[in-house]
């Protein structure tokens, strides 16, 4: 499909169109994940406050809450950025494709590390340096008991689907048809039209001749004007001689 805003642009291949749809899907899944995360923010804060109450880490729930809000805001910004990048990719903007790869790589790393850390925390029991502070595995267990039963499966499913959609979108942008679409087209050579290789120049303009001033002698080499003819006088009736 050609870009209606630029009729000269090449037709958009299916790999670029599907990549943009996957970026839209990734942004939608990210927005849903942010809503789900913020919906249990109060419960999460209560669990951390009860876990840290009376310990040296008392008040640490504030840091957890602020961190959760910051992560949610960053997720919203990334979702909006990928929507804009998808629109620009459909218009064959190579710079937007490069930015998509950069932001996509960062998102893949952050989401993958988050999933790995969650699974690692659930499977391992870390001892805390402070005896009165609960271990991460104990706090995770309290969170699972306090949060709704649908929260963890929904959160993990959204994250996995978003990762797969983003990974597929980045791969599609690197396929040969996509490279051809984003390559800047070379200017086409147009042969000259016969007879119009050189422009036709207008004939030189004749400078105007200055009129001589009254009473001035004629200029040398110029033809004197013809003498003026006497006025044509009609003879009137003659008067008779005196004495007649």
pLDDT single digits (tens) 127-186: 445 467 777 778 888 888 888 989 989 998 999 999 999 999 999 999 999 989 998 664
Q: Retrieve residue 104's tokens.
A: 């996509």
pLDDT at residue 127, as a whole number = 46
Nearest-10 Cα torsion for 110, 111, 115, 120:
-10
Nearest to 28 by CA among 74, 73, 75, 66: 75
CA–CA gap between residue 105 and residue 137 (Å, rounded): 29
- The pTM of the whole model exceeds 0.85: no
All residues at 6 or more sequence positions from 24 whose CB lies less than 8 Å from its CB, including other chains = 82, 83, 86
Q: Could you give the 3-state DSSP secondary structure of residue 197?
A: coil
List, as own/partner pairs, every contact residues 100-105 make where C-beta atoms lie below 8 angstroms and the sequence separation is at least 24, other chains included.
100/23, 100/169, 100/170, 100/173, 101/170, 101/173, 103/78, 104/166, 104/169, 104/170, 105/170
For residues 166 and 22, the answer to whether their CB atoms sit within 8 Å is yes
Q: Whole-angstrom Cα distance, residue 100 to residue 23? A: 9
For helices 14-39 and 60-90, the axis angle rounded to 10 degrees is: 160
Residue 48: pLDDT band by 50, 70, 90 thresholds? confident
39: its two tokens: 């919906």
How many angstroms separate the CA atoms of 107 and 113, rounded? 10
183-200 pLDDT, tens digit per residue, is: 866 455 555 555 555 555
H or E element: which one contains 136? Answer: helix 136-146
Residue 232 predicted with pLDDT over 70: no
CA distances, 13 to each of 19, 89, 168, 192 (Å): 10, 11, 15, 34
- Cβ 44 vs Cβ 68: under 8 Å: yes
| Region 36-51 average pLDDT | 88
Residues in the chain: 244
Mean pLDDT highest for which of 114-128, 153-167, 191-205, 227-241? 153-167
The neighbour count for residue 46, using CB atoms within 10 Å, is 13
In 3-state terms, what secondary structure has residue 226?
coil
Q: What is the pLDDT of residue 133?
A: 76
């Amino acid at each position: 499909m050609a870009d209606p805003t630029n009729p000269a642009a090449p037709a958009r291949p299916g790999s670029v169109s599907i990549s943009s749809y996957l970026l839209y899907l990734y942004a939608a899944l990210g927005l849903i994940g942010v809503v789900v995360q913020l919906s249990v923010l109060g419960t999460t804060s209560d669990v951390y406050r009860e876990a840290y109450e009376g310990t040296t880490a008392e008040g640490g729930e504030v840091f957890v809450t602020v961190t959760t809000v910051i992560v949610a805001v960053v997720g919203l910004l990334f979702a909006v950025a990928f929507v804009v990048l998808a629109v620009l990719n459909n218009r064959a903007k190579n710079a937007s494709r490069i930015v998509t790869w950069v932001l996509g790589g960062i998102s893949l790393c952050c989401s993958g590390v988050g999933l790995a850390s969650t699974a690692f925390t659930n499977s391992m029991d870390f001892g805390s340096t402070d005896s009165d502070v609960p271990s991460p595995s104990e706090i995770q267990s309290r969170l699972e008991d306090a949060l709704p039963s649908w929260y963890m499966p929904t959160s993990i499913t959204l994250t996995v689907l978003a990762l797969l959609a983003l990974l597929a979108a980045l791969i599609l942008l690197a396929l040969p048809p996509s490279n051809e679409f984003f390559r800047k087209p070379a200017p086409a050579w147009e042969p000259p039209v016969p007879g119009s290789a050189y422009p036709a120049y207008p004939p030189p303009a004749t400078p105007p001749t200055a009129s001589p001033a009254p009473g001035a002698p004629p200029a040398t080499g110029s033809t004197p004007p013809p003498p003026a003819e006497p006025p044509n006088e009609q003879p009137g009736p003659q008067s008779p001689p005196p004495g007649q």
